[in-house]
Amino acid sequence: MKKGSKEVKIKFETDWKYAPAPESSDHIKLKSSYDLFINGEFVTPSSGKYFETVNPSNEKKIADVADANEKDVDNAVKSARQAYEKVWSRMPAKERGKYIFRIARIMQERARELAVIETMDGGKAIRESRDIDVPLAAAHFFYYAGWADKIEYAVPGTKTKSLGVAGQIIPWNFPLLMAAWKIAPALAAGNTVVLKPAETTPLTALKLAEIISDAGLPPGVVNIITGAGATGAALVNHPGIDKIAFTGSTDVGKIIQKALAGTSKKYTLELGGKAANIIFEDATIDQAVEGIINGIFFNQGHVCCAGSRLFVQESIAKKVIRKLKDRMETLIVGDPLDKNTDVGAINSKMQLDKIKQYIKIGMNEGGECFQTSCSIPTKGYWHRPTLFTNVSQSSRIVQEEIFGPVLSVQTFRTVEEVIEKANNIPYGLSGGVWTDKGSKIFRVTSALRAGVVWANTYNKFDPTSPFGGYKESGMGREGGLHGLMPYLSIEN
Ligand code: NDP
Distance 366 CA to ligand 1 centre (A): 31
Nearest CA to ligand 1 atom 8: 198
Distance 246 CA to ligand 1 centre (A): 8
Mean pLDDT along residues 242-247:
98
Which residues 6+ apart lie within 8 Å of 370 measured at CB? 325, 328, 386, 387, 388, 389
Using pLDDT thresholds of 50, 70 and 90, give the confidence band for residue 492. Answer: confident
Residues belonging to the active site: 270, 304
Residues 347 and 200 sit within 8 Å (Cβ to Cβ):
yes
394: burial class by Cβ within 10 Å (0-12, 13-18, 19+)?
Answer: exposed
Query: Is pLDDT of 1 > 60?
Result: no
- Mean of all residue pLDDT scores within the chain: 96
Nearest CA to ligand 1 atom 16: 229
pLDDT tens digits for range 12-46? 666 677 899 999 999 999 999 999 999 999 999 99
For a ligand 1 pocket test, name from 69, 70, 168, 169 the mutation site with the most ligand atoms within 8 angstroms of its C-beta: 169
For a ligand 1 pocket test, name from 124, 174, 236, 247 the mutation site with the most ligand atoms within 8 angstroms of its C-beta: 247
Distance 253 CA to ligand 1 centre (A): 8
Mean pLDDT along residues 236-259:
98
**How far apart (Å, rounded) are the C-alpha atoms in residues 413 and 71?**
59
Mean pLDDT along residues 295-319:
98
Question: Strands 488-491 and 222-224: what pairing?
Answer: unpaired
Nearest CA to ligand 1 atom 14: 229
pLDDT tens digits for range 187-214? 999 999 999 999 999 999 999 999 999 9
Q: Which phi-psi region, left, alpha or beta, contains residue 419 (left: φ > 0; alpha: ψ -120 to 50)? A: alpha
